[in-house]
Chain A
Amino acid sequence: MSGLKPGEVNLGTSIMAVQFADGVIIGADSRTTTGSYIANRVTDKLTEVHDTIYCCRSGSAADTQAVADIVHYYLQMYSVQNGKPTVPLAATLFQEMCYQNKDNLSAGIIVGGWDKENGGSVWNIPLGGSLHRQPFAIGGSGSTYIYGYCDATYRDGMSKDECIEFVKNSLALAMSRDGSSGGVIRLAVITEQGVQRIFVPGDQVPVHWEG
């Protein structure tokens, strides 16, 4: 568990975002840890930076909150001066912060949102500050356990409900194997109409083989 200072709060995490026809679906677990203690078991890791642009945060809780707040501010100013921002713009702002401060940050961020020019788009910004547009992206410590599952399950052109099931099942698998992920699943469906939040409590999280 690198990059974190002693006592710092960790967004261990499993996060995910999937692009579909009308927009994107983003999802995250809800566990925040300090060492092995679960400091918050109902965290909201899906953070709004604009009306239809959200980010999923993983890594240091402090670092990702600070970066998201700054990007939120920049997008507020941009929208007042220039009109609605696009998702690639927001993603580039995140990239700028993460890359230029790479030595001091521990932040893995996935940006997902809808805008008029691009429709839905997903942008993955891993630790070093690189920017990757992907049809779907996974991140956080729990993501390592579901690369195979996601590659095997993802198909182009899935419907909204199929994407929701895909995200729910992937996150459930990651939460089961990764000690730093768990709690409840939070989802957000982002389309031209706005943001619809979905909450999956612990007892409704999909159950797979448990030995």
Chain B
Amino acid sequence: MSIMEYNGGAVVAMVGKNCVAIACDKRLGVQAMTISTEFKKTFQATPKTYIGLPGLATDVQTLAEKFRFKVNMYRLKEEREIEPRALAHLVSSTLYERRFGPWFVEPVIAGLDKENRPFICSTDLIGCINFAKDFVVSGTTSNQLYGMCESLWEPDLEPEDLFETISQSLMNAVDRDCLSGWGAEVTVITPEKIITRTLRSRQD
């Protein structure tokens, strides 16, 4: 049994035309048993960036709080919101601090920078950043998500189309993973607004 597969979960982020989207499932389990169907894994870091945290649930909660603290401190000291690229490096160093006793999460970051250019990246559990131009995936469903995203993603999707694409990628990927699913939440970030939608999915 792998510690990364104890609670289960899936997160995916995609780049669109002047927008980004991030999505996660809502299951919390203890190995095969499902405990909760309201355990969301995406958190708002700034008005224009989100962090997704799949992995061991206790670390998901702890790191969500740690990053909230660090982002708040950054805002207080710098008197501006943290840019997505800087947030990525903040996440990376926070994880590498624990190089030999790591946090069991593999974060995904999605947001718009100050010029409203889309930004996504993911890191492994010890902080190696993967800067991607198209999509990033993480969690127990990552293999299935790679397949879905590789087939469905295309560049320059408008926000509504990006929503459809990321939703279908997530829904069909988690249907092939018994540790993820039981609902989904999708957030689309545009320069004007952020829209979060909850998806109805299979509950098995």
- Residues of A at the B interface (CB closer than 8 Å) are 1, 12, 29, 31, 33, 35-38, 41, 141, 145, 175-183, 202, 205, 207, 210-211
Classify the interface of chain B: helix, strand, loop or mixed.
loop
Beyond A38-B176, A177-B34, list 7 extra A-B contacts (CB 8 Å): A36-B140, A37-B177, A179-B33, A179-B178, A202-B204, A207-B203, A211-B38
A126 to B: closest C-beta gap in Å: 18
Q: Is B8 among interface residues, defined by CB-CB distance under 8 A? A: yes
Q: How far is the CA of A33 from the CA of B178 in the complex (A)?
A: 8
B106 to A: closest C-beta gap in Å: 15
**The 9 A-B residue pairs with the shortest CB-CB distance in the complex, in nearest-first order:** A182-B204, A179-B32, A179-B178, A175-B204, A211-B37, A38-B176, A36-B179, A180-B32, A176-B203
Q: How far is the CA of A183 from the CA of B144 in the complex (A)?
A: 17
Q: Is B198 among interface residues, defined by CB-CB distance under 8 A? A: no
- Residues of B at the A interface (CB closer than 8 Å) are 5, 8, 29, 31-34, 36-38, 140, 143-144, 175-179, 182-183, 202-204
Residues of B within 8 A of A31 (CB): 178, 204
Q: A38-B175, A182-B178 are in contact. Are A177 and B33 (CB under 8 A)?
A: yes
A179's partner among B34, B143, B144, B175 (CB-CB below 8 A) is B34
Q: A141-B32, A211-B36 are in contact. Are A179 and B176 (CB under 8 A)?
A: no
Q: How far is the CA of A181 from the CA of B29 in the complex (A)?
A: 14
Q: A12-B178, A36-B178, A37-B176 are in contact. Are A179 and B203 (CB under 8 A)?
A: no
B204's partner among A36, A141, A181 (CB-CB below 8 A) is A181
Task: Flag if B177 contacts A36 (CB, 8 Å).
Answer: yes
Q: What is the count of residue pairs linking A and B with beta-carbon distances less than 8 angstroms?
A: 63
Classify the interface of chain A: helix, strand, loop or mixed.
loop
Q: How far is the CA of A37 from the CA of B180 in the complex (A)?
A: 10
Residues of A within 8 A of B183 (CB): 210
A178's partner among B33, B37, B144, B177 (CB-CB below 8 A) is B33
Residues of B within 8 A of A202 (CB): 202, 204
Most buried by B among A37, A141, A145, A207: A37
B148 to A: closest C-beta gap in Å: 14
Residues of B within 8 A of A38 (CB): 175-178
Task: Flag if B204 contacts A183 (CB, 8 Å).
Answer: yes
Task: Flag if A178 contacts B203 (CB, 8 Å).
Answer: no
In the complex, 24 of the A-B residue pairs with CB atoms within 8 angstroms, ordered by the A residue number, are: A12-B32, A29-B204, A33-B178, A35-B5, A36-B178, A37-B143, A38-B178, A141-B32, A145-B33, A176-B204, A177-B34, A179-B8, A179-B29, A179-B31, A179-B32, A179-B33, A179-B34, A180-B32, A182-B204, A183-B204, A207-B203, A210-B37, A210-B183, A210-B203
